Amino acid sequence: MSESLTFHYDVDGEDFTSAGQASVQVKKNLRRLGIAPDIIRQVSIAMYEGEINMVIHAGGGEADVIVSEDKIDIILADHGPGIADIELAMQEGYSTAPDSVRSLGFGAGMGLPNMKRYMDEMTIDSTVGVGTTIKMTVYLNR
């Protein structure tokens, strides 16, 4: 594969129970492309965490997964409230999720740390009141 392949998804902010559809679809697509299972697992979990974040905090958003010869890039963009203190948000256990979300097993303050854990690179670009864009990269052929 010499050219990159992009998968685009709209993440529905209303429907919490259907969150994960984009991630599961990404998993299927990557499997079809013959990507290694451990990479697929890393990418799809990081993507799911991002999806959940967009549903909890931002009323949805958009996700792009770009598969190139040597890497996979994931770009998650929303027009939510933004992250006031990114360093704090990156700390394991820190969360601003409401109790209704916690009772479903989310909101443990592990979403962003998990994304970082599974990706080789991750940058967060966020402006309060404007939105958040997260770019993540995992390298293939390591």
Partner 1 sequence: MTVNELIEKCGFNAVSLPEPEREINGCYIGDLLSWVMGRAEADNVWITIMSNINIIAVATLADVCCIILAEGVTVDDEIVKLAGEKGVNILLSDKKTYETAVAVYEAI
Note the Cα 54 to chain centre separation in Å: 8
CB 105, min distance to partner 1, A: 4
Q: Count interface residues toward partner 1 (CB under 8 A).
A: 24
Nearer to partner 1, 59 or 109 (CB): 109
- Interior angle at CA 14, CA 11 and CA 17, nearest 5: 80
Sites for partner 1 among residues 2-61 (CB under 8 A): 16-17, 19-20, 23-24, 27, 37-38, 41, 44-45, 48-49
Nearer to partner 1, 4 or 57 (CB): 57
- Give the x/- contact pattern for partner 1 in 70-109, rule: CB under 8 A: ----------------------------------xxx-xx
Q: Which amino acid is at 61?
A: G
Alpha helices in 71-138 (DSSP H): 86-89, 99-102, 111-118
Q: Which two tokens stand for residue 52?
A: 């959940």
CB atoms within 10 A of CB 83: 22
CB 51, min distance to partner 1, A: 9
Nearer to partner 1, 1 or 114 (CB): 114
Note the Cα 112 to chain centre separation in Å: 8
Three-class SS state of 79: coil
Determine the straight-line distance between the first and last CA of the chain, rounded to whole angstroms: 17
Q: Which two tokens stand for residue 40?
A: 């697929």
Q: Does 113 bind partner 1 (CB under 8 A)?
A: yes
Residues at the contact surface with partner 1, assessed by CB under 8 A: 16-17, 19-20, 23-24, 27, 37-38, 41, 44-45, 48-49, 104-106, 108-111, 113-114, 117
